[in-house]
Structure 1
Amino acid sequence: MGKNIIIIGTQWGDEGKGKIIDLLSPNVNYIVRYQGGHNAGHTLVVNNKKTVLHLLPSGLLHNHIFGVIGNGVVISPRDLLNEIRMLQKQGIYNLQNRIMISESSPLLLEYHVAMDQAREKRLHSVDDNNSNGNTTIIGTTGRGIGPVYEDKVARRGLRIGDLKNIQLFSVNLRKNVNYYNFLLSNYYHSKVVNYDVIIKDILSVRDDLLNMIQDIPNTLDIAMKNDKKIMFEGAQGTFLDIDHGTYPYVTSSNSISGGVCSGVGVGPLAIDYILGVTKCYTTRVGFGPFPTELFDEIDLHFFNIGKELGSSTGRRRRTGWLDIVALRRCIQINSLSALCMTKLDVLDGLKEIKICIAYKLSNGTQITCTPFSVDEWNNLSPVYKILPGWLGSTVGVRSFNLLPLEAKNYILEIESMVGIPIDMISTGPERNDIIILNNPCL
């Protein structure tokens, strides 16, 4: 059997998973997205050229890779096809013959976007007039991800496979448009969507979509029986998981490793190794708890040196020190085999580096586990261990032995704290700016 691995984020996304997936891709045959939509972006830098992918698996820059989009991924047809065209213009070979989509993947349509944006607009309006602060503004990307997952659970969603019967699809589409327009008009007092525009648009891309659909569980089962190697690619991060994240400030899908089974259709025994990608500090986009968040010159350092802007939205990322309490919970619920630490080079030049090792509650009690509710998250403070920084540069270093002593000690300290090995350390944005202590794909 080939070695099948999962690459997931251990924080709130933006950990640098795209680079790691792209780097390991030469040694696998299939790369599979299992959740999320085009609200998440993976940034790849090859020969100083930046490519940002939102729906397509990151490894497709390699011409031998088959890219698979599982049923757990919601698909905006136009965004998917635009992304394919972008890579074709870059000279990426034979793309549409290398992309496979589950026919069960939900379709994200114009009314989902309209609903997402109407809700956020209303919440902001209510919050501005509500001194009690009783509203919950999530800070979504406004791209319709939440509403399309809601349709899936409510069993009114339309899936790519439904396009095979266009007459029935048209009937169900009209029902959905009427449903959403009623809410948009009467509750949100927002602009409604046009059925004729939506059906015309979907018909124009129908053949392209149907030509890419496959029976994904069967395809991957055959691949595994033929000793092919499969990499499962997560979007976002562990603490944006709908069940295990900082609810309600989470995404709408299961971003943890367990989401692979339901989001693709493979059993847990098919997984051999799970790599958690974590920054050497912490960031998150949008609202929600963030115990180690900074508001000082270190925040500016992380923002400026780390170029902390969201790949999909361009929003500024909030920054903070590395949180070991959260990282241990991530290891626990994902069964991580090892870690990949990214952006070590961003810590260059700092006099001291802090690591959160516990949380202090308002009554002075210290805990070493993550809390349940937002109220509990918001009423604790981080307890830090302080390590010396380093003056030397780690940018582009590709051997652990060549790191400054303090940088080596920092990595070894983290490894000791979390109890699993650190197999990879990224030292810059380029594909090959990395220290590989153990390659899981070999």
Structure 2
Amino acid sequence: MKAKAIVLSGRAYSGKSTLAKLLAERRRDCLLVRSKAVIEVSLSSVPRDAAGLAKAARRLEADTKGGWLTTSLNEKLLSSAGDLGLVVIDAVESAEQVLYLRRSGWSVTHVHLQASESELEKRSLKNQAGRGRLQTSKAVTRPKAIDALADIADVVVDTDRCSADDVFARVIARMEVRPVTAVPLVDVMIGGQYGSEGKGNIAHYLAPEYDVLVRVGGPNAGHKVFRSGEHPYTFHQLPSGALANRDATLVIGAGAVISLERLLKEIAELSINHDKLIIDPQAMIINNEVDIAWEVAHLKNAIGSTAQGVGSATARKILYRRSDSNVVLAKDVPALKHYIRDSVEYFAECLSVGRRIMLEGTQGTSLSLHHGSYPHVTSRVTTAAGSLAEAGLSARHVRRVIMVCRTYPIRVGDTDTGNTSGPMSQQITIEQISERSGIPLEELKITETTSTTHRPRRIAEFDWAQFRRSLILNAPTDIALTFADYFGVDNRKAYRYEQLTTDTLRFIEEAEKVGGVPVSMISTAFNDRNIIDRRMW
């Protein structure tokens, strides 16, 4: 693959250094090369005064016919242990420098920036005032040869009428597969019931197939994954595939709500490096004293809330949109400064270069704020579309939607005040599940305890009406069926589809008939070989 370079040209104060800085900050694969620094290295034996350097630089330019810059870049390319990525050159001053680079095999995008004489003079005076000196700038009267570079440039931008971000957007678009929104590289995994469908188990299984793992929601959802020889690990903030794929980049989207203590604990326990985690600056931080206390007082008993502060924090983010409010976002937390990055720009980069993304939703469709049984709902939209919106991805990015469903849906258990967590269709007892499946009752009691609040779960027959509604709301391409052993403990010994019990096979056939999509994965147990994979993708 050809090495890629963005070559900048333009007069002083036209915006070249600002653009170069933005490219270096927003593209982690970007190497910034300042031609002035290259000259100083190439002419190390020359006197360091400005006049001496300028004279020697002109001689170097003439002797190499503009090739000195390309020679230096090729040396960097050869000495680089990995992919040099995108090189930004600030700046060139002759057509020969650009031509030499093109002829040497580089993929060059030449960007020329320009502005009116009055605007250049204004910027020059502002810059000098900031440095404590004022004089008429000579920089705006640079040789006309600089202006002539506009004739051979790939992109010419008038910075009089474009902000720095506008210039960045116009330039970076030339380096991306266009349009970036047309590349279907995102797979979305969501719950089709009331949560606790076993999404963590499926995410852990699929994680090695992706370059980027994304999570939205908040700490009110715990996703448990199996660890051979160790206790299971429950993820509350980080994507659940973090243990299964150490090479993946982890992303917490702008719509996420963060418990700072839980997040830092997970980062420490899993030894997540700074370069492997991105947190969007707009993610909301829970205030324990305000948010958790309010939910304990008003929601825990009223609707069976997990009372983790997620709803209260989300409400504050909506209601107190003032500069003097006590809303704290991720960008405001010093402990997170190494992880902060605009996730939307990062996703654009991923889509451009073909990185595969898995978006892990939390909770379940029937808990969705607008589509669940209000008021027994959560504080967010838990559908595939809602998760995409929270992450900062478009539906056009999506390749697959995987809806995870249990054989027997659950909700949080009863409290002293009644069934406060909301209605369920055809509720049954855990004793009945034990009798039907052959799984010991004590084992089921341990399993059917919530991951976050450790409360007992209520359990019900599979709700076909709920299943149909979730299909409509999410339009999944695939179903992942979990807890197949609840149909019969012998399913734990099944490693192929045909080894499942007859009742299980009949159920899957009916689910595919009602859903119109395949049951692509079946989870038979909670161990290191528990997924029967029927995918064709």
Normalised to the residue count of structure 2, the TM-score between the two structures is: 0.60
SS for the counterpart of 1:20 is helix
After TM superposition, give the deviation of residue 114 of structure 1 in Å.
1.4
In the other structure, the counterpart of 2:467 is 327
Ranges in structure 2 where 5+ consecutive residues have no aligned partner: 1-182, 414-420
CA distance in 2, matches of 1:414, 1:320: 17
Alignment RMSD (CA, Å) = 2.3
Residue number in structure 2 paired with 1:183: none
Are residues 1:98 and 2:276 paired? Answer: yes
The 3 A distance-change label for structure 1 pair 107 and 346 is same
Deviation at 1:258, TM superposition (A): 0.8
Out of 398, 411, 425, the position equivalent to 1:291 is 425
The structure number with the bigger radius of gyration is 2
Per-residue deviation, 1:404: 2.6
Contact 1:285 1:315 survives alignment (8 Å): yes
State which of 475, 481, 490 in structure 2 corresponds to 1:341.
481
Give 1:355-366 correspondences, 5 Å limit. Answer: none
Q: 1:27 maps to which residue?
A: 209
Contact 1:305 1:346 in 2 (8 A): no
Q: In the alignment, what sits opposite 2:311?
A: 146
Q: Which runs of 4+ in 1 moved over 6 A?
A: none
Q: CA separation in 2, counterparts of 1:308 and 1:423?
A: 25
Q: Cα distance, 1:431 vs. partner?
A: 3.9
Match of 1:437 in 2: 534
Q: Deviation of residue 77 (structure 1)?
A: 1.0
Give the Cα–Cα distance (whole angstroms) in 2 for the partners of residues 439 and 66 of structure 1: 26
Structure 1 residue 405, shift from structure 2 partner:
2.7
> What letter matches 2:407 in structure 1?
C
* Alignment equivalent of 2:359, drawn from 217, 232, 241: 232
- From 101, 106, 115, the equivalent of 2:294 is 115
Match of 1:172 among 319, 325, 335: 325
Measure how far apart 1:409 and its partner are: 2.0
Distance 1:108 1:424 in 2: 35
> Alpha-carbon deviations, 1:73-126, whole Å to 9, x = none?
1011111101111223xxxxx4332111110101111211111112247xx5xx
Matched, 1:263 2:445: no
The 3 A distance-change label for structure 1 pair 305 and 347 is farther
Q: For the structure 1 residues 304 and 340, does the alpha-carbon distance in structure 2 shift closer, same or farther, using more than 3 Å as the test?
A: farther
Q: How many equivalent pairs are there?
A: 338
Higher relative contact order (CA 8 A, sep 6+): 1
Quick one: structure 1 residues 296 and 33, their matched pair in 2 at CA, closer, same or farther if it must change by over 3 Å?
closer
Q: From the superposition, tell whether residues 119 and 6 of structure 1 become closer, same or farther in structure 2 (CA, over 3 Å).
A: same
Correspondent of 1:75 among 245, 251, 258: 258
Structure 1 residue 414, shift from structure 2 partner: 2.2
Contact kept, 8 Å, 1:76 with 1:108, in 2: the verdict is yes
Q: 1:113 to 1:54 in 2, by over 3 A?
A: same
Post-superposition shift, 1:263? Answer: 0.4
Give the percent of matched residue pairs that are identical in Structure 1 and Structure 2: 30
1:17 and 2:199 correspond: yes
Amino acid at match of 1:325: A
Of 458, 464, 468, which residue of structure 2 is paired with 1:318? Answer: 458
The aligned counterpart of 1:426 is 523
**Residue 239 (structure 2) pairs with residue 57 (structure 1):** yes
Partners of 2:223 and 2:235 within 8 A in 1 = yes
Alpha-carbon distance in 2 for matches of 1:296, 1:309:
12
Cα deviation, residue 296, structure 1: 6.8
Q: Is the 8 A contact 1:31 1:66 kept in 2?
A: yes
8 A contact 1:423–1:437 mirrored in 2: yes
Give the letter for the 1:142 counterpart: A
**Counterpart residue identity of residue 264, structure 1:** A
Distance verdict in 2 for CA 1:60–1:95, change over 3 Å: farther
> Which consecutive unaligned segments of at least 5 residues does structure 1 have?
89-93, 125-136, 158-167, 177-197, 350-392
Higher percent of residues as helix = 2
AA in 2 matched with 1:26: P
1:37 aligns with 2:218: yes
Q: Which of 13-22 and 401-410 deviates more? A: 401-410
Question: In the alignment, residue 285 of structure 2 is paired with which amino acid?
Answer: L
The match for 1:211 is: 338
Partner of 1:87: 270
